[in-house]
Amino acid sequence: MSFQFKKAIREQVGLLIGLAGGTGSGKTFSSLRLAAGISGDRPFAFIDTEASRGLHYADQFNFDHGDLKPPFTPQAYAEAILAADMAGYPAIVVDSCTHEWAGEGGVLEMHEDELERMAGDDYAKRERVKMAAWIKPKMDHKKMVQRLLQVRAHLILCFRAEEKVEMIKDNKGKTVIVPKTSLTGINGWMPVCEKNLPFELTASFLLTADAPGMPKAIKLQEQHKIMFPLNQPIDEESGRKIATWASGGKVVNSYVTVAIAEFRSLTSLDALKTSFGRAYTRAKKSGDTSDMTILQNAYDKAKDTLTAPQEAAINSDEDPTI
């Protein structure tokens, strides 16, 4: 039998991250910051469907730019993304993925073309074959998604978001209009894409114009929460954490790393206690119990290092003050 198993080790894990938002929500800038943090000194790839608008940020970030032009078919997206992955880019930004669904030549237009081919102007027949006309567009979309799941680079997909509403009956039986409830949206804001695509993503966030770049989690698993603090804008630090985690390393918040380095450099127990108290208070305020544990262990180790020489001298016949 040729199928084999080996011990599971987290290494070179590619993440699919979705950023959805309306105009002015900061999704493009946030995606660039995220990719820059992932890539470090290396350039990342930017696949642009927005008439080269990504070039507006060329002076701020180190990336290679590619224009994806209509028709925005699933196959065109897959080919562009796979080309970037084959080129070895550590991160790939696609802005925007919405065109694959609702753009020129996208899945919705493919469906309309199929209806036209199958029924023409016979509207009664169009109704009968409407479901059958989805077969080819949906299959092409599924093929694209399956290819994306094989990409080793970190893939950042930007989506336009629209505000949706629905009519429901309130507790008095009156019909009211409320924000649409969905597992793939927040407060009625939903990414414009095929309805199942958000479930394929590792993590996804809604960004809004009233707080540009501040993530509102649509999908965020426990092991990824340290990478995306919800109380601050998505930035390069999130990207650095992604790169560390994906390579098998332990993700630690930057202020914890700084605090631990400070612990090791201090020669006074009082100074150590002050430094620890400051860092621990910050961790406690953020509610990050893993940071609290790391800081406590580092403090205990640094304290032992400071007190060991004194205890050794006390246990000997020497005067510890000499």
pLDDT tens digit at each of 322 positions of the chain: 688 887 766 666 788 999 999 999 999 999 999 999 999 999 999 999 998 999 999 999 999 999 999 999 999 999 999 999 999 999 999 999 999 999 999 999 999 999 999 999 898 999 999 999 999 999 999 999 999 988 989 999 999 999 988 888 888 888 888 888 888 889 889 999 998 998 899 999 999 999 999 999 999 988 888 889 888 899 998 999 888 888 876 666 667 777 887 888 888 888 888 888 888 888 887 766 777 888 888 888 888 888 875 555 555 555 444 3
Q: For residue 196, what is the DSSP state?
A: T
Question: Interhelix angle for 289-314 vs 254-265, to 10°?
Answer: 10
pLDDT confidence of residue 321: 41
Q: Which two tokens stand for residue 312?
A: 């050794």
Q: How many CB atoms lie within 10 A of CB 178?
A: 12
pLDDT confidence of residue 153: 92
Q: Which two tokens stand for residue 168?
A: 């429901």
pLDDT confidence of residue 8: 66
pLDDT confidence of residue 322: 35
pLDDT confidence of residue 65: 97
Give me the CATH topology for the region 16-246.
Rossmann fold (3.40.50)
- The H-or-E segment that residue 48 falls in is strand 44-48
Inter-residue contact 145 to 151 (CB < 8 Å): no
| β-pairing verdict for 63-67 and 154-163 | unpaired
- The H-or-E segment that residue 189 falls in is strand 189-191
Facing residues of 208 across strands? 211
pLDDT confidence of residue 142: 95
pLDDT confidence of residue 203: 93
Structural domain spans, the chain:
16-246, 254-314
